[in-house]
């Protein structure tokens, strides 16, 4: 598939001498949700600022739909919608006029059918004539998304879309982001929340100290690195694993009251059935069983730890 954004060996050294990005290369595919994960100061916003033409890179190149961001900045910017990390928005304008204003900045003729459809998609239709100052925080965030979509961009950047919002609003935002993907927009979001990437992303990239250390399909990453743990709580504590159970490499914990079995996510379910049968044959009686799948978070901690 041809990438819609192509980033090639991008570096940024600020005038202070600080290297915020070092040789970052990354392709974004049309129609995907790409999550860029990384701690504070990793370089996420700097990367977005270069792609959106706000910051000039020290070296390297970025192409958006084959246009170079430095040679054709007006063209490339028109293909991009940006929801910035900082909420900056005209307080005394109404929702509708603020969105129309954003579209006007791109020199596009007004199109009320399109703007109305965005207002409805973002559940802002009822609030279209309300002043922004009178909106809740969550509605303001939705207005920012509407403004970013006002000029019909191909790609939408969301810089920390849910930083500092409550659980309910976060889920709400996730729903909106998914619906935008289904309406055909390519989405790049940055986040500290691995759970967010786990929920939304088709692919994830991990950035730290200005370098991308990993880019992978989310599901492949989980399949490849993911482990499942089965915790078996037993009625009578044991101190040694019976010989016939050695092959399962069980770990004993909790003073002999818990046996833990680690297995690959892709492994056959029949192994578990066999294990439970063998436990019963050894007269080990079960009290409770819990299974836990390693999350994207466990996987990242594992990778970063290395
Ligand atoms: N204009 C600037 N001049 C000098 N240094 C800067 C400038 N802008 C950013 N930096 C530095 O570059 C590094 C990367 O900043 P950036 O804002 O890209 O991080 P981030 O990954 O977006 O972090 P956060 O998660 O906190 O938003 C930081 O150390 C920051 O202090
Ligand atoms: Mg940032």
CATH number at residue 175: 3.40.50.300
| Residues 33 and 54 occupy one common structural domain | yes
Ligand 1 atom at shortest distance from the alpha carbon of 43: 18
User: What pLDDT score does 262 carry?
Assistant: 85
The domain containing residue 158 runs over which residues?
3-223
pTM above 0.75, yes or no: yes
Residue 43 Cα to ligand 1 middle (Å): 6
The Cα-based distances of 291 to 27, 231, 275 in angstroms read 36, 6, 14
| Residues 21 and 154 occupy one common structural domain | yes
Q: Where a domain ends, among 200, 223, 246?
A: 223
Q: Where a domain ends, among 189, 208, 223?
A: 223
Residue of the nearest CA to atom 2 in ligand 1?
14
* Domain of residue 265, CATH code: 3.30.70
pLDDT at 239 exceeding the cut of 90: yes
| Residues 43 and 181 occupy one common structural domain | yes
| Residues 41 and 167 occupy one common structural domain | yes
Q: What average pLDDT does this structure show over 144-168?
A: 89
pLDDT at 36 exceeding the cut of 90: yes
Q: 56 — phi, psi (to 5°)?
A: -95, 130
198 is written with which tokens? 């786990």
Residue 152 Cα to ligand 1 middle (Å): 29
User: What pLDDT score does 304 carry?
Assistant: 62
Q: Where a domain ends, among 223, 254, 272?
A: 223
- When mean pLDDT is compared across 85-89, 129-133, 273-277, 281-285, the lowest value belongs to 85-89
| Residues 37 and 132 occupy one common structural domain | yes
Q: Is 212 exposed, middle or buried (0-12, 13-18, 19+ CB in 10 A)?
A: buried
| Residues 240 and 213 occupy one common structural domain | no
Q: How many domains does the chain have?
A: 2
pLDDT at 299 exceeding the cut of 80: no
Of the chain, the percentage scoring pLDDT greater than 70 comes to: 94
């Amino acid at each position: 598939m041809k990438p819609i954004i192509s980033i090639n060996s991008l570096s940024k050294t600020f005038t202070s001498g600080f290297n915020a990005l070092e040789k970052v290369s990354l392709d974004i595919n049309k129609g995907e949700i790409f999550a860029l994960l990384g701690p504070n100061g990793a370089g996420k916003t700097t990367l977005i600022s270069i792609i959106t033409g706000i910051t000039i890179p020290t070296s390297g190149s970025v192409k958006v739909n084959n246009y170079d961001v430095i040679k054709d900045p007006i063209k490339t910017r028109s293909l991009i919608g940006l929801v910035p990390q900082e909420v900056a928005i005209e307080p005394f304008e109404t929702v509708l006029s603020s969105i129309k204003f954003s579209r006007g900045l791109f020199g596009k003729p007004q199109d009320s059918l399109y703007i109305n459809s965005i207002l409805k998609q973002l559940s802002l239709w009822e609030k279209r004539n309300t002043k922004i100052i009178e909106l809740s925080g969550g509605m303001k965030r939705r207005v920012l998304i509407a403004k970013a979509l006002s000029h019909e961009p191909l790609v939408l950047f969301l810089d920390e879309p849910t930083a500092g919002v409550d659980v309910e609003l976060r889920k709400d935002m996730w729903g909106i982001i998914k619906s935008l993907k289904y309406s055909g927009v390519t989405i790049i979001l940055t986040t500290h929340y691995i759970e967010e990437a786990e929920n939304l992303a088709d692919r994830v990239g991990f950035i730290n100290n200005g370098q991308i250390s990993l880019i992978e399909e989310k599901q492949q990453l989980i399949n490849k690195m993911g482990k499942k743990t089965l915790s078996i709580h037993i009625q009578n504590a044991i101190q040694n694993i019976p010989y016939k159970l050695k092959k399962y490499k069980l770990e004993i914990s909790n003073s002999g009251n818990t046996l833990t079995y680690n297995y690959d996510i892709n492994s056959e379910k029949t192994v578990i059935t066999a294990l439970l049968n063998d436990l019963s044959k050894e007269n080990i009686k079960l009290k409770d069983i819990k299974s836990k799948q390693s999350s994207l978070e466990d996987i990242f901690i594992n990778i970063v730890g290395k």
